[in-house]
Amino acid sequence: MHDDLLKRHLELVIEANKTTNITRISTWEEGMLLHVEDSLVGLPEVMDAPAGRMADIGSGAGYPGIPLAIESGRQTLLADSVGKKTAILSSMVETLGLENVEVYTGRIEDLAREKPAAFTVVTARALAQLSILMELASPMLQEGGRLVCYKANVSDEELQHALSLQEQLGMKHVSDRTVTLGDNCRRIICFEKTGRPKIKLPRKVGMAQKRPL
């Protein structure tokens, strides 16, 4: 049953991609490996997080959010600021009949203001550097909640910078593992929300990217 849904989602993505550019992956084989299998690499980290709602930020074509929602059964919010993408996401969620999935159009900072500490898991795939993800996710997460970052190449500088901001952002590094997918590597880096950030979050929209901590 799950497999059928995962495949049906990929079919819908490939179909939608013909008219709207939502992914650069165009073949079935690539899609199965680099979207579906890749999304499920972080499933153990998602299952490890406390029970509760999950948010997939910068969800794009619904990866990793939709496969994770299908496999984990969690209430899931797919968030993206591009209306064209969220319109496609909404129609895919409806077609797939995923009753545990909602779609949010808007900036992450606004979502954090509207739903503070509403999530126990936040996932982000290929979205931004770790420190920015930590800043965006911190106000959305309940204490004990997890940020699951899907990364490709992470420099030591990027990781060290993220680690230096743990206390400031109320986040703690808890795990790091790398999986090989074909010729690609996927690294899953996980942080836990430990307490209140030392600074007021979220900052104004766009500040995390424009003026990183």
Q: How far is CA 148 from CA 93, 95, 172, 176, in A?
A: 22, 27, 12, 10
**Do the Cβ atoms of 150 and 41 come closer than 8 Å?**
yes
74 marked among binding-site residues: no
63 marked among binding-site residues: yes
CA angle 135, 162, 113 (to 5 degrees): 5
> Residue 86 has which token pair?
């969220």
142: nearest Cα among 76, 49, 64:
49
104 marked among binding-site residues: no
138: nearest Cα among 56, 83, 196, 66:
196
Strand duo 76-80 + 101-105: pairing: parallel
**Do the Cβ atoms of 25 and 35 come closer than 8 Å?**
yes
Residue ranges for the binding site for S-adenosyl-L-methionine? 58, 63, 108-109, 125
Which amino acids are annotated as binding site, given as ranges?
58, 63, 108-109, 125
